[in-house]
Amino acid sequence: MYALVDCNSFFCSVEKVFHPGLEGKPVCVLSNNDGCIVALTPEAKAVGLHRGDPIFKVQDIVNRHGVKVFSTNMQLYAAMSRRVTRILRRSVLHVENYSIDESFCDLHGYEAHHDLVEFMREVRERIRLWTDIPVSVGIAPSKTLAKMGSKFAKQYKGYQGVCLIDTEEKRRKALELFELADVWGIGRRTLEKLEYLGIHTPLEFAQKSEAWVRSHFHKPGLQTWQELNGIPCIDTTEVLRNQSITTSRSFGKMVTELESLKTSVATFSANCANKLRAQGSVCSTVLVFVASNRFREDMPQYSHTASHTFITPTSDTQVITQAALQCLQSIYMPGIMYKKSGVVVSGITSDSAVQLDLFDTPARCRERRELMRALDNINQRYGAKTLHLAVAGMERQDWQVRCEHRSPNYLTDINEIPVIKI
């Protein structure tokens, strides 16, 4: 059996941890540059707000109902996510982070010694007690069914936070009630194809024969069908590793100087490299893109991309940044007011078996890995960008995003820890 632990309205829940007076009140978290709503509480939905709403269009609703608005603070959310994960790892041997607010727990063998529902309720209560973050848990024989269970646990209070799908009757009932568009692994094109074939519920899809599924879908569709039938087959570590990693931002202010673009690209390159090392991966290609403000038709429009392929796949911050800056140099056009830049790393594989360049020596590669490990350890201990490449800049830049409503980094910055006045 697998358990999917999903933090409820995670970004908003983290903000509420440090603002206790917001319990039961509408709360929203905004996207980069405080543009759109990316997370909101049920109370915020009840007053008419929706995910994706531009904040300037719903400002009257925000003011009328006293909605508390926060800027996104990923550093704070990631720190709280690590705390939740540590609690899970103290309770369950095998825990796998799927996203910042979701973790899979492998419960195989636990049923012999525990009532799985009560066991996960205890874990849930421990997370709530130690972090004040509410979570919903789905338990099922496959990860797709576990994700469905977590949504039922969140939607229906009768489950008391934990939904177990362990019988054929429960599985069929869940598939009958669940929205096909919300099934993990069914994207827009797959959904359109299923509806074209006359399938409108997960149950109808699961009831098709394996031969029929193989004749109409490729491997991902077959895996989803197997998972819906309680056959575990999705390796989420591979799902995460095979995707590209993108770091990009719309600038708080438009910039025209090459040096400003260099600091943004260097910062994004370092973020991509950090993510690669965190998941034990390397990349073979880095792509850089820049773009002007497409909404300013009164200004010259320009966008371009350039890429570089490494001889030896890497996750080294310096190597990736150097290549990214070379790409930027080749596509930079003077006189353009740039609104956005970004870095994409792809061709991602495991770092456990990297084919070296003929002119690389094992000793040099080992030294570079140790250097990156030391860099990561220092930044994890003392805060992001404690150590970074000089080209990324020392002070706040004009291109950096607006965050007028950002909460302090309570968990990672000694200068921003909460202060209690008695």
For residue 286, what are its two tokens? Answer: 């880095």
Amino acid 398: pLDDT: 64
Q: Is 167-240's fold the same as 243-392's?
A: no
Closest CA to 405 of 8, 11, 7, 60: 11
Contact 9, 100 (CB under 8 A): no
Run means of pLDDT, 10 residues per run, the chain, 422 residues: 93 91 90 85 91 89 91 89 93 89 91 91 94 94 94 91 93 92 89 91 92 91 92 71 78 86 91 89 92 85 92 90 94 90 90 71 75 86 77 70 76 79 78
Please report the beta strands in 327-379, taking only residues with DSSP state E, as ranges in sequence order. 338-346, 349-350
| Predicted pLDDT of residue 321 | 94
- What pLDDT is stored for residue 240 in this prediction? 53
Q: Is 88 exposed, middle or buried (0-12, 13-18, 19+ CB in 10 A)?
A: buried
As a whole number of angstroms, the distance between CA 342 and CA 287 comes to 8
pLDDT at 111: 87
Look at residue 293 in the predicted model and tell me its pLDDT. 86
Fold that domain 243-392 belongs to in CATH:
Dna Ligase; domain 1 (3.30.1490)
Domain 167-240, CATH 3.40.605.10 — does that match? no
What pLDDT, on a 0 to 100 scale, did the predictor assign at position 418? 79
Single-letter amino acid code for the residue at 284: S
pLDDT of residue 31: 85
Distance of CA 113 to the CA centre of its chain: 34
Query: What tokens appear for 247 in the block?
Result: 């770091």
Distance CA 308, CA 323 (A): 6
User: Cα 305–290–343 angle (5° rounding)?
Assistant: 75
Q: To the nearest 5 percent, what fractions of the chain are helix, strand and coil?
A: 45, 20, 35
pLDDT in tens, 259-315: 889 999 999 999 999 988 888 888 999 999 999 988 888 888 899 999 999 988 899
Query: CATH fold of 1-165, please?
Result: Alpha-Beta Plaits (3.30.70)
- For 188, the token pair is 């827009």
d(CA 74, CA 349): 26
State residue 350's pLDDT score: 83
The confidence score (pLDDT) of residue 345 equals: 93
Q: Give dist(CA 305, CA 327) in Å, integer.
A: 8
What are the domain boundaries of the chain? 1-165, 167-240, 243-392
Torsion of CA 310, 316, 317, 322, to 10 degrees: -30
Query: CA angle at residue 167 from 166 to 168, to 5 degrees?
Result: 135
User: Are 111 and 1 a contacting pair, CB within 8 Å?
Assistant: yes
CA–CA dist 48, 116 (Å, integer): 38
Q: Which of 392, 386, 391 is nearest to 415 (CA)?
A: 386
Contact residues for 178 (Cβ-Cβ < 8 A; gap 6+):
148, 151, 201, 202
> What is the pLDDT, as a whole number, of residue 56?
87
Distances (CA, A) of 181 to 100, 227, 236, 262: 22, 16, 20, 41
Closest CA to 93 of 110, 116, 80: 110
pLDDT of residue 376: 86
DSSP letter assigned to residue 36: B
Tokens of 304: 């371009």
Q: What is the dihedral of CA 207, 213, 218, 224, to 10 degrees?
A: 10
